[in-house]
Structure 1
Amino acid sequence: MAAGDPNHVLHVARGIEPTEALAVLGAKPGLIRTCELPDSKPDEWTSLPCAALGIQPGTAAALLAGRIGEWTFVYDDLGFTCDDSATMALSADGRTAATSVFTINADASLLYAVGGEQVEWVNVDDLNLEEDLPGMPAELRAAFEAAGNVPTEDLEPGEADGDIGMRAACALAGLALTLEDVRRIPLLVVPFG
């Protein structure tokens, strides 16, 4: 779904509709439309949501939203919605939300909030799975455990791989989906920025 060398954000929130989540993130309601993801990307720099909108990479972010069960997801292909206050707003009114960030510089983090308050911030670069997971809230710990770790030769024992935050956000929201699964659910897309 992502472009090459991604700089992207994934928001997940329980108990909010996709259109409301997009509005909370600042999307213009009049620009939101339904979409079907294309079969392929025209090049390595174009994300599938960007291709669905027919916009040139880098001219605007493409926000893609959908809902699975109680959870809504919003994928931001350029990371324009990377703001702690966005996660707090998504989690307002007793909801649970998480935002996973992965930058082009390989900075990775996950913010977990409940009821408009930050509960946990995880800097993936400093995450030690053996030491840090036991202190996390049960729901978040279970998500990181379900996400698993993909060890590489660069990682020390106990260190997490850079993509674990994205997988943990997906696990938290029950988004164990293939791209074909995503294509089968109702999706919304909007240019942003």
Structure 2
Amino acid sequence: MNNPLFSADAVSLRGIPDWIDRLAWEDPNHSLYVVRGLDPAEVIGIVGGEQVRTLAPGELPEDTADEWSGVVPHALEAAGGGDLLRVAGRRGDWTFVYDTFGGMDGELAKTLSKGGRAAAYVVNSISGISRVDCAEDGSGVYELDDSYDPDYDQENVPELLRNAIDAAMAVDLEDPDWDLGVNMRIVCALAGLTWTYEEFRQHPLTIARYDE
């Protein structure tokens, strides 16, 4: 099945998926796991974190309190706040865990994929690092240690990622040279997470806190 395309309002001017751009801090340093075949509680148990709150559809704020804090700490104000937070949810067969501080390890994609599953990890750091790790059935099948470039990175792309890459590259950006979100779009498209922030916040979500 083809991966769903991003609508024009599902991607920010920086090329970042809208729901992630709205969750992120102003200068994002964040990461994302997606895995097919596990529920959010199981994934949080593997990547680490203490579940502190479940948000009902529509409970996540429509916007941030200010441009620097991000909506997740704002949503957790009543639960004691905190910066090291993960947001988990599900769409179809795929579960995602988004880390607002980029504190996850790409090697865990292999662990998540054991037992015939598929998983992927992406990180974008404030220092400019962007990486993708993709795994199937416990083994790594693709690594990318920079932003995806179709002129150099098409070789050895596994079947699992081909449609997702097509969906990520189909986005029409005003300035393609200032594309900060291509790797995030690839991993989001793999799991069907091509929604707007408003669509995203209409799903039940689990918030977890963790220590460095």
Q: What one-letter code is carried by the residue in structure 1 that aligns with 2:191?
A: A
Normalised TM-score (structure 1): 0.86
Q: 1:167 matched to which residue of 2? A: 185
Separation of aligned partners in 2, 1:119 and 1:10:
18
Please report how far the alpha carbon of residue 93 of structure 1 lies from its aligned counterpart in structure 2 after TM superposition. 1.5
Determine the structure 1 residue equivalent to 2:115.
93
The equivalent residue for 1:124 is 146
Name which of 56, 70, 86 aligns with 1:47.
Answer: 70
- Cα displacement (A) at 1:45: 1.9
How is 1:40-189 mapped onto 2 (pairs within 5 angstroms)?
40-54=63-77, 59-81=82-104, 83-125=105-147, 127-148=148-169, 150=173, 152=175, 154=177, 161-189=179-207
The aligned amino acid for 2:158 is: P
Question: Residues 128-178 of structure 1: CA distance to partner in whole angstroms, max 9, x if unpaired?
Answer: 3034224301221221111016474757xxxxx331010001100011111
Report the counterpart of residue 39 of structure 2 in structure 1.
Answer: 17
Question: Which of 1 and 2 has higher RCO (CA within 8 Å, sep 6+)?
Answer: 2
Distance 1:130 1:151, change over 3 A: farther
Deviations 1:30-82 (A, max 9, x none): x34202311211122212222222255xx53110010000000111000111x
Q: How many residue pairs are counted as aligned between the two chains?
A: 182
Work out the CA distance in 2 between the residues paired with 1:123 and 1:151.
Answer: 25
**Whole-angstrom CA distance in 2 between matches of 1:77 and 1:172:** 20
Identity %: 37
Q: Is the 8 A contact 1:108 1:163 kept in 2?
A: no
Q: What is the TM-score with the length of structure 2 in the denominator?
A: 0.79
**Partners in 2 of 1:85 and 1:108 — Cα distance?**
15
Distance 1:154 1:181 in 2: 28
153 and 97 in structure 1: CA distance in 2 versus 1, 3 angstrom threshold: closer
- Aligned to 1:84, what secondary structure does the other structure show? coil
SS of equivalent residue, structure 2 residue 132? strand
Consecutive unaligned residues in structure 2, runs of 5 or more:
1-22
Deviates most, 90-99 or 44-53:
44-53
User: Are 1:192 and 2:210 an aligned pair?
Assistant: yes
The change in CA–CA distance for 1:128 and 1:180 in structure 2 (over 3 A counts) is: closer
Distance verdict in 2 for CA 1:132–1:153, change over 3 Å: closer
2:3 matched residue in structure 1 = none
After superposing on structure 2, the runs of 4+ consecutive aligned residues of structure 1 that deviate more than 3 Å are 149-155
CA distance, structure 2, for counterparts of residue 88 and residue 46 of structure 1 = 32
1:146 is paired with a residue of what secondary structure? helix
